[in-house]
Amino acid sequence: MRKILFLFAALSISAVIMIGIFVFIEGYPIFIKVGLLNFIFGQKWSPSEGLYGILPMIIGTFSTTLGALILSVPLSVFTAIFLVDYAPKKVERLINPAIELLAGIPSVIYGLFGMTMIVPIIREFQKSYFGNGTSQMQSGYSILAAAIILSIMISPTIISVTRDALKSVEHELKAGSLALGATKWQTTWHIVLPTAKSGIIAGIVLGMGRAIGETMAVIMVAGNTVGFPESIFSPVRSLTGNIAIEMAYAAAGDHTQALFGTGIVLFILIMFINGFALRIFGKGVKAK
């Protein structure tokens, strides 16, 4: 049984390695032709002109991800605190399945919700308060719309990891704080959160990785315009969106290689983020 289990573990690792090798082989030639720095920091993406710069997509990806974290982190952390320390058992049994359901909803459903609900609200807000803007800026498809949808999508991840981190705090620490006269909220704020901060940070970083890697929902609400955003109402294109949109009609050659090169950058970025999260969480476990 040990050999069989080792074989399955090796197959799982081999699958990741083979995917990485395949993407690298397909995308590496564009780095030679264009130059790695020109590819990453290039400011114009125009395959018809032979220009392959993904900096606008990198900025678009991080702008939507940052917006999602700003909206999601406070809501998720306080939800986890409520579930661990304040929620009655009946309420907890009601909320936990709802959070798990959010994690299981397909991303295209989130995209449809964003297109039919979030985007029209943003569009009307823009027309009311920024009536002199361009039609593109007033479409509603924007960083803000993508950030709102992504914040909903990454909340289950952050809530689940944060909840586990809070539950792992020793009961003796809480009891000692309460025995010294601290209130329940003071104990949570000054004792529980600092003790569980490594797990909370790991959950946030994992949520960030999920937001960076999301494709379909972002394509449906972000606007998919290649350019540098001027505000949160500007349309943008993400790295994953760029691959999904153009791979279907990319002619063989430099264009396809550039899309695989974008995949290499994204692959390395996601691996780094996940590794960073696991390292933080591992240090927190060792410290405890």
Q: Which residue has the higher pLDDT, 285 or 182?
A: 182
State residue 48's pLDDT score: 83
Query: Domain limits of the chain?
Result: 51-287
Average pLDDT, the chain: 87
The tens digit of pLDDT for each residue in 69-116 reads 999 999 999 999 999 888 888 888 888 888 888 888 899 999 999 999
Query: Phi then psi for 270, rounded to 5 degrees?
Result: -65, -40
Kindly state the average pLDDT of the residues 122-130.
80
Check residue 138 and report its DSSP letter.
T
Asked if residue 123 lies in contact with residue 138, where contact means CB atoms within 8 angstroms, the answer is yes
Burial environment of residue 27 by CB neighbours within 10 A (0 to 12, 13 to 18, 19 or more): buried
What would the pLDDT profile of 238-247 be if each residue is shown by its tens digit? 999 999 888 8
Identify which has the larger pLDDT, 286 or 232: 232
Stated length of the chain: 288
Alpha-carbon distance 134 to 140, whole Å? 11
Burial bucket for residue 59 (CB in 10 Å: 0-12, 13-18, 19+): middle
Question: CA 11 → CA 15, 104, 272, distances in Å?
Answer: 6, 26, 22
Distance, in Å, from the CA atom of 121 to the CA atom of 142, rounded to the nearest integer, reads 12
- Greatest mean pLDDT among 135-139, 199-203, 272-276 lies in 199-203
- 288 pLDDT above the threshold of 70: no
Average of pLDDT values for 52-77?
93
Q: Are the C-beta atoms of 136 and 152 separated by less than 8 Å?
A: no
Q: What is the pLDDT of residue 103?
A: 85
Residue-wise over 251-260: b if at least 16 C-beta within 10 A, else e? Answer: eeebbbbbbb
| pLDDT level of residue 283 (50, 70, 90 thresholds) | low
Tokens of 222: 């972000």
Among residues of the chain, what percentage have pLDDT more than 70? 93
Say how far apart CA 145 and CA 140 lie, in whole Å: 7
Least confident of 13-22, 261-270, 279-288: 279-288
State both tokens at 130.
Answer: 């920024």
- Homologous superfamily of the 51-287 domain (CATH): MetI-like (1.10.3720.10)
For residue range 20-39, what is the model confidence (pLDDT) as tens digits?
A: 899 999 999 999 998 889 99
Please tell me what DSSP assigns to residue 47: G
CA–CA gap between residue 200 and residue 52 (Å, rounded)? 38
The pLDDT of residue 55 is: 92
**More confident position, 286 or 271:** 271
Residue pair 192/85 in contact by the 8 Å Cβ criterion: yes
pLDDT (0 to 100) of residue 5: 92
**Which H/E stretch holds residue 77?**
helix 55-81
pLDDT of residue 125: 85
Radius of gyration of the chain (CA): 22
Q: What is the pLDDT of residue 112?
A: 94
* Confidence (pLDDT) at 275: 78
pLDDT tens readout for residues 216-241: 899 999 988 888 888 888 899 999 99
